[in-house]
Amino acid sequence: MYWTGLGGEYLTETDLTGSTINEEYVYFNGGRIARVDRPSGTVHYYFSDMLGSASTITDASGGSPTRYYYYPYGGLVTSIGSDSNHYKFTGKERDSESGLDNFGARYDASSLGRFMTPDPLGGHQEDPQTLNKYAYVRNNPVTLTDPTGLDFNLNCDKNNGTTCQGGHQYYKDKDGNYQETVVKSDKAGNLTDQSGNKYHAEVDGKGVHFSQDGSKTSSMGTWVNGSNETKFTQSSGALAGFSFDFHQTSKEQTANGTFSYPGAPRDAYDAILNAGFSASMADDFFNPLHGYIGSYHYRSDGDPGTGKNSGHLIIRGVTILHPWDTVPTNGELHFGETNPNVNRIEHFRKDVF
């Protein structure tokens, strides 16, 4: 059995009854740094590479190292030593019988460089590398990883060198160091940050907003590429009842995903307008990447004068015979583009080509 911390990390492994502890793990800044074997109390230290893969494990004195050497997709080239560690590529648990890595939602075959089951979303047109439902991190395993859950940075306006740096919010950890605040979904489906604070999310024409539970203020979120998609159903605001699934972005987008609404497009229309979107003729007729038949495009204004930071919502799969009665309403949305109704040339230069 596995006993997890607030961030979903495995802290303790026990037998099936939960009464006998087999291993305990120690973490620092989200990474596994040590293991204590029970009941012997033997300590092992973990040294990881930039992807979080266990590369060297030593005893308590730093001796008797076990070393792992990986292929780009996580397969073992060779290993030296005999440590019993089973957390290997990017720190994920490797099953001793199947050789598969447990990524939470799916199992990955490092020998194939592919997941064993398809991604329920399957990517989006603007980023062809995401269209393969079995591909691992857009076929870029050397620089990207696939952590569990949603990753959003929280934005801020005024850099002060402490709680606001580079346009992102920071918090002070227990050692007095400032760390970038990241909101992600835990295994229970809650949105939390590193300190365990819970959040709820709301989408409108400007983007994805996050508010701590009990707070009346919100912060805009920027997606962290390389993280796994997440799903949530909005409970308040103009788009209440809409279910969203956010995933990888492309070019200058700040967030990208899909949505589903249980009603027909005629029911969703007013909600979309109230959320700050309006019908977009420029996308309906001049955007070849998004298609024409069965699609309806909506845009938020973006920044005054430039159209930057516009939101783009597309209703997909509308039938020709009964266009406003198709149930459910499905589509895509992304943020951070330039509104082509304001600046078509800039939109095509940055967001299309």
Taking the CA atoms of 108, 331, 220 and 195 in sequence, report the sign of the dihedral they define: negative
pLDDT of residue 346: 61
- For residue 256, how many other CB atoms are within 10 A of its CB? 25
| The pLDDT of residue 274 is above 80 | yes
Highest mean pLDDT among 34-43, 192-201, 284-293, 308-317: 34-43
Tens-digit pLDDT profile for residues 158-204: 777 788 887 888 888 788 888 888 888 777 777 888 888 888 889 99
CA dihedral 336, 342, 347, 351 (to 10 degrees): 20
pTM above 0.85, yes or no: no
Kindly indicate the confidence band of residue 150, based on its pLDDT and cuts at 50, 70 and 90.
Answer: very low
DSSP strand E in 191-309: where?
191-192, 198-204, 207-212, 219-223, 230-233, 243-246, 255-261, 278-279, 296-299
Stronger pLDDT, 213 or 109, i.e. the higher one: 109
Would you call 205 helix, strand, or coil by DSSP?
coil
**In this structure, are residues 307 and 343 in contact, taking their beta carbons and an 8 Å threshold?**
yes
Nearest-angstrom CA–CA distance, 114 and 134:
5
Q: Which of 13-27, 50-64, 151-165 has the least mean pLDDT?
A: 151-165
Percent of the chain with pLDDT over 90: 32
The gap from C-alpha 46 to its chain's centroid, in whole angstroms, comes to: 26
Establish whether the linkage from the previous residue to 72 is cis, with ω within 30° of 0: no
Tens-digit pLDDT profile for residues 202-261: 999 999 998 888 887 788 888 887 776 777 888 889 999 999 888 877 767 888 889 999
pLDDT of residue 350: 59
Stronger pLDDT, 311 or 224, i.e. the higher one: 311
Q: If you average pLDDT over every residue of the chain, what do you get?
A: 82
Kindly give the pairing relationship between strand 310-316 and strand 329-337: antiparallel
Kindly give the pairing relationship between strand 93-94 and strand 182-185: unpaired
Tens-digit pLDDT profile for residues 62-82: 999 999 999 999 999 999 999
Angle at CA 281, nearest 5°, toward 279 and 287? 115
In DSSP terms, which residues pair with 208 in a beta bridge? 203
